[in-house]
Amino acid sequence: MTRRNIIALALSLGVGLALVARLAVAADMPGVTATEVKIGHTNPYSGNASAYGTIGKAIAAYFKKMNDEGGINGRKINFVTYDDGYSPPKTVEMVRRLIEQDEVAFLFNTLGTPTNSAIHKYMNQMKVPQLFVATGATKWGDPQNFPWTMGWQPTYQAEGHIYAQYVLKNVPNAKIGILYQNDDYGKDYVKGLKDGLGDAAKKLIVMEQTYETSDPTIDSQIVNLKNSGANVFYNVTIPKYAAQAIKKTAEIGWKPLHLLNNVSNSVGAVLKPAGLQNSKDIVSTFYLKDPTDPTWQNDAGYKDWLAFMKKYYPEGDLSDLGNVYGYTVAQGLVQVLKQCGNDLSRENVMKQAASIKGLSLPMLLPGVKVNTGPTDFYPIEQEQLAKFDGERWILFGEIYDASKK
């Protein structure tokens, strides 16, 4: 045998063996080896929704921490994250890349309502978990029709309910003006508010304005709302537009009761750019501990988070709630992986995700717990109201539980 032949033989044998080994693993648990579990993720790192990019970075940083500490059940997490620019066709392409080419075990915390809608059916056809999606739309908790998709945060509708109750109780002669993003997300919030107001909705809501994610500004909508005579401003916008809205209301001297959706109540990403003085007296809801709130200065959960940020994500903004969100949802996944034990098949991942009982995570507000079940695909359903005092959010009132009507 010539030297070249030997090399050729060795090579083909090696490739063949590698293929066999790969197939053997792929047969039962795609994306899982003895030392690694591969997890896919999409996030807008660019474009109009890029303020959410930090969530993906915080998650990646947390998994790095877990890996440095030896991984989970001896397996390290290989976190593959791609930019979809918040564009549904790009999400489809990137998700197909993740599942068919990178062969990830499952998707985790893919961000956005239209983007997740575009892959909803595909994921359920492929029977790959679409776990803890980063959107509060109501449709993600539908285990009967979409058993492979699960939400994470409180739904937008549930949050709308809370605001409705607050307004009914505290604002006599309320005239509500609404600004919302013209899509599922915006409409869910509006539906929640209207359901919560009940029969009074028609009378109390004096104007509804919308915007598109491609709009450069929402200034004219704000002016219209002011002119409608509204004394309550229900602000259902993503961070970029929320900051614009807060700035503009201050600029034109409009002083309504400002109800800001949870999506955009980050001090770092929204209130600071909008101006802290302009943000005074805004009301919003929380289920996470706000890192700018001194209440938590000596809280063990906050201290751990701070240490994590300094070590693993030092360039991250310490006042950005997105970093708390990413940290917490990553911990939620770690819990699922721990529960899975050695069986990381897609079926078992889904099964374990649907059997989380009373899990408290360090950066969830005290009293807020993660609960799921075979028919309950809404992990977090509790929230509390807070008011911004010009420097920080001050929590007030009871913990509201949307699962108990």
Partner 1 sequence: MISVGLRRVVVLAAVVVACVLPFVLSNFRLFQFTQVFIYAIALLGLNILTGFNGQISLGHGAFYALGAYTTAIMIDRWNIAYGWTIPVAGLLCLVIGFLFGIPALRLEGLYLALATFALALAIPQILKYFEHWTGGSQGIVLSKPRAPFGLKLNPDQWLYFVTLGVLLVLFILAANLLSRRTGRAIVAIRDNPIAAQAMGVNNALYKSLTFGVSAAYTGVAGALSAVAIAFVAPDTFNVFLSITFLVGIVIGGLASISGAVFGALFIQFVPNWAQDISKAAPWAIYGIFLITFMYAMPRGIAGSLRLVLGRLARLSGETRRVA
Measured from the CB atom, is 10 or 15 closer to partner 1?
15
Q: How many residues bind partner 1 (CB under 8 A)?
A: 29
Q: Closest separation between CB of residue 90 and partner 1, Å?
A: 8
| 38 interacts with partner 1 by CB under 8 A | no
Determine the interface stretch with partner 1 among 79-87, 231-239, 282-290, 381-389 (rule: CB under 8 A). Answer: 79-87
| 299 interacts with partner 1 by CB under 8 A | no
Measured from the CB atom, is 44 or 291 closer to partner 1?
44
Measured from the CB atom, is 187 or 289 closer to partner 1?
187
Helix 53-68 crosses helix 321-340 at what angle (to 10 degrees)? Answer: 50
Distance (Å, rounded) from C-alpha 340 to C-alpha 158?
A: 30
| 127 interacts with partner 1 by CB under 8 A | no
Q: Closest separation between CB of residue 114 and partner 1, Å?
A: 5
Q: Which residues contact 324 (CB under 8 A, 6 or more apart)?
A: 288, 289, 290, 291, 305, 363
Of 179-218, binders to partner 1 (CB under 8 A) are 182-184, 186-187, 212-214
Distance (Å, rounded) from C-alpha 66 to C-alpha 330?
A: 10
Determine the interface stretch with partner 1 among 120-128, 150-158, 225-233, 384-392 (rule: CB under 8 A). Answer: 120-128
Q: Closest separation between CB of residue 212 and partner 1, Å?
A: 5
Q: Which residues contact 333 (CB under 8 A, 6 or more apart)?
A: 39, 108, 109, 131, 132
Sign of CA pseudo-dihedral 379, 343, 78, 31: negative
Distance (Å, rounded) from C-alpha 16 to C-alpha 175?
A: 71
C-alpha distance from residue 329 to each of 15, 85, 295, 302 (Å): 39, 21, 22, 15
Distance (Å, rounded) from C-alpha 264 to C-alpha 180?
A: 12
Measured from the CB atom, is 142 or 183 closer to partner 1?
183
64 neighbors 105 (Cβ within 8 angstroms): no
| 30 interacts with partner 1 by CB under 8 A | no
Alpha helices (runs of H) in 39-136, residue ranges in sequence order: 53-68, 88-96, 113-126
- Candidates 38, 76, 120, 248: give the one binding partner 1 (CB under 8 A): 120
Of 84-103, binders to partner 1 (CB under 8 A) are 86-89, 92-93, 96-97, 100-101
Q: Closest separation between CB of residue 182 and partner 1, Å?
A: 5
Measured from the CB atom, is 43 or 153 closer to partner 1?
43
C-alpha distance from residue 71 to each of 68, 263, 282, 398 (Å): 7, 31, 41, 38
Of 309-328, binders to partner 1 (CB under 8 A) are none
Amino acid at 218: I
Q: Which residues bind partner 1 (CB under 8 A)?
A: 45-46, 81-83, 86-89, 92-93, 96-97, 100-101, 114, 117-118, 120-122, 182-184, 186-187, 212-214
